[in-house]
């Protein structure tokens, strides 16, 4: 039993180390991702709105990506429907989500998470309340 506990503990520590390394590589390291030339962020604008409709609605995930809790507000994107990990234009449809108001550094972190230019593009959309926000749309090959 003592031997089992020892090996269990060793494997647990190795698993935590590998998981932590994976998070670091994905969200913070200078390796593995190079920002797209289309990743234009106007640093002069102190706060920008981003409409999120998928995994970014989870508080814990936003905290991991941006390193700080971010307040959200509910929002609706008219004229689009959600299809798996993407939003597609469709008259009469709407996508329910949340709006994050973030600074340029947090927007860079979101671009990295969404792999801007590789998996997603960031486009300006008009929400049901008349405001505009960024939204990530899936790129297809």
**Residue 44, pLDDT score:** 81
Instruction: Give me 123's structure tokens.
Output: 């486009």
Query: Cα dist. 70→85, 105, 106 in Å?
Result: 22, 13, 10
Interval 118-129: pLDDT, tens? 889 999 999 999
Interval 2-54: pLDDT, tens? 888 889 989 999 999 998 888 777 766 666 666 666 667 777 888 999 999 99
Let me know if residue 20 belongs to a domain. no
Let me know if residue 65 belongs to a domain. yes
Let me know if residue 2 belongs to a domain. no
Let me know if residue 113 belongs to a domain. yes
Contact status, residue 139 vs residue 86, Cβ threshold 8 Å: no
Please count the structural domains in the chain. Answer: 1
Interval 68-82: pLDDT, tens? 889 999 999 999 999
Instruction: Give me 28's structure tokens.
Output: 């913070």
**Residue 27, pLDDT score:** 64
Let me know if residue 83 belongs to a domain. yes
Angle in degrees, CA 107, 105, 114, rounded to 5: 35
* CATH value at residue 67: 3.10.490.10
Specify which residues 105 forms β-bridges with. none
Q: What distance in Å separates the CA atoms of residue 103 and residue 94, rounded to the nearest whole number?
A: 27
User: What is the 8-class DSSP label of residue 124?
Assistant: E
Residue-range definition of the domain harbouring residue 71: 33-138
Let me know if residue 89 belongs to a domain. yes
């Amino acid at each position: 039993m003592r031997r089992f506990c020892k090996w269990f503990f060793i494997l647990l520590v190795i698993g935590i180390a590998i998981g932590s390394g994976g998070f670091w590589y994905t969200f913070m390291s200078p390796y593995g991702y190079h920002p797209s030339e289309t990743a234009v962020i106007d640093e002069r604008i102190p706060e920008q709105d981003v409409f999120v409709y998928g995994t970014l609605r989870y508080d814990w995930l936003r905290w991991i990506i941006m390193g700080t809790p971010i307040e959200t507000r509910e929002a609706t994107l008219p004229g689009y429907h959600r299809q798996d990990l993407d939003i597609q234009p469709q008259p009469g449809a709407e996508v329910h989500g949340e709006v994050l108001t973030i600074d340029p550094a947090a927007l860079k972190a979101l671009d990295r998470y969404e792999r801007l230019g590789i998996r997603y593009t960031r486009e300006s959309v008009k929400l049901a309340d008349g405001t505009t926000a960024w939204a990530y749309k899936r790129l297809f090959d």
